[in-house]
Chain A
Amino acid sequence: MTDEIIRRFTRNVPEWRPRVVPVKLTDATQDQLDALQVTPSNTKVSDYVLVLAHDVETLKVRSPLFNAIMYGKGGLSRAERELGALAASIVNHCIYCAAVHADRHAQLSKDKTVTDKLFAMGENADLGPRDRAILTFGMNLARTPHSASAADVEALRAAGLDDGEILDLILSSALFGWANRLMHILGDPVRKTS
């Protein structure tokens, strides 16, 4: 058995192999166990979260912030927040994040064609005007903060997004500027091959 590193975008979520040694549950401090929400009945923690437990103060605030941005009530639909996450993950080439959030987008929107086109055609994929505006803005903001323009915001407004929805898109794309810099940098997406 060897691990094959996945280099192409896919909705088929790979495994994640850390580049640093994760915290061992048996060595974890009480603070780390609290942040990992480990209880006698819940001892399953992913390697990714065990890696992040090295910086427990950040992990403790990051998880609720992540949930508030991706699952908070009102504003942009959950599927469209996934598209914001996906836009950043494509720019940053985070194969693992892109797989997870493309899969969620397909499930939430009950439509695989958007992510099929994105993975086949990249950033120039022919999408509907609303998805197109969301993708363009999300990708430009992910490149550098100054790559996103007033014209990109106008395109979002023309596609029917209000200020609250645009704010949620800013937050979801920016959040994956963060998540991609952990997932893509601290580990490799792999599949076991025999």
Chain B
Amino acid sequence: MTDTLQSSVIASVRPRPGSALAAEVENRRDIFEKTEAAEVAVLTPVDPGGLSHDLRHALAARIAALHAEPEQASRYAAGVTDAALLAVTDPGSAADDPRVQAMLAFTDAVSTHPRDIVAADVAALQSAGISDADIVRLAELNAFLAYQLRVIAGLRLLAGVPQ
């Protein structure tokens, strides 16, 4: 290994150096580097559209909390500067802004029971004035987090790290 793998996923699990798992992670370095690049694309894109970096971090923190991953929730909440948005990182909370509230309701459903999502859930976002492009951005943020949090949980099991 020449340089350290930059990966928030691996940093959160810390496979024991020299272990079989550490070697298998290194064999898949490109996957973890691409995963890191995807985190940048959904959290801090150059063109954030109608979802500010602040809002994206708040949603990511809420999604991590919904997945019972408090360490990741804290990591993402640390990227939120606006106090009103910091408040919605708590999954029990609601937003005063109807546009943000529509995104919270959608996010809660996509995180916890995606199989039950129907066309009306997407139509509800459109009715709240959210553009189709922002709906795709919101879905990608949710979808990426669902992936990343599962990779972290799976690696933790494989490394034998207590939950």
Contact = CB atoms under 8 A, between A and B. Distances in A.
Interface stretch (B81-89, B93-101, B133-141): B133-141
B118 to A, nearest CB: 9
- Of A60, A74, A186, most B-chain CB atoms within 10 Å: A186
Main secondary structure of the interface of A (DSSP, over half): helix
A72 interface: yes
A185 B114 contact: yes
- Kindly state the interface size class of chain B when it binds its partner: 35 or more
Interface string B17-60: 00011001101101100110110011001110100000000000
A88 B130 CA distance: 29
Contacts of A61: 34, 37-38, 41
A93 B132 contact: no
Contacts of B21: 163, 167
Contacts of A77: none
Given A74-B27, A144-B67, A164-B24, A65 B34 contact: yes
Contacts of A75: 24, 27-28
B24 A51 contact: no
A177 B119 contact: no
Given A145-B153, A171-B151, A181 B110 contact: yes
Given A149-B157, A167-B28, A174-B154, A58 B67 contact: no
Contact of B140 (A21, A55, A72, A177): A55
Contacts of A166: 154, 158
Contacts of A144: 67-68
A20 B121 CA distance: 12
A179 interface: yes
A100 interface: no
B149 interface: yes
A102 to B, nearest CB: 17
B63 to A, nearest CB: 11
Contacts, number: 165
Contacts of B67: 144-146
- Kindly state the interface size class of chain A when it binds its partner: 35 or more
A136 interface: no
B35 A150 contact: no
B143 A64 contact: no
Given A93-B115, A174-B151, A19 B122 contact: yes
B45 A58 contact: yes
Contact of B158 (A65, A167, A174, A179): A167
A130 B160 CA distance: 21
A65 B151 CA distance: 13
B13 to A, nearest CB: 11
Interface of B: 20-21, 24-25, 27-28, 30-31, 34-35, 37-38, 41-42, 45-47, 49, 67-69, 110, 114-115, 117, 119, 121-123, 126, 132-133, 135-137, 139-140, 142-144, 146-155, 157-158, 160, 163
Interface of A: 19-21, 51-52, 54-58, 60-62, 64-65, 68-69, 72, 74-75, 91-94, 141-142, 144-146, 148-150, 152-153, 162-164, 166-167, 170-171, 173-175, 177-182, 184-186, 188
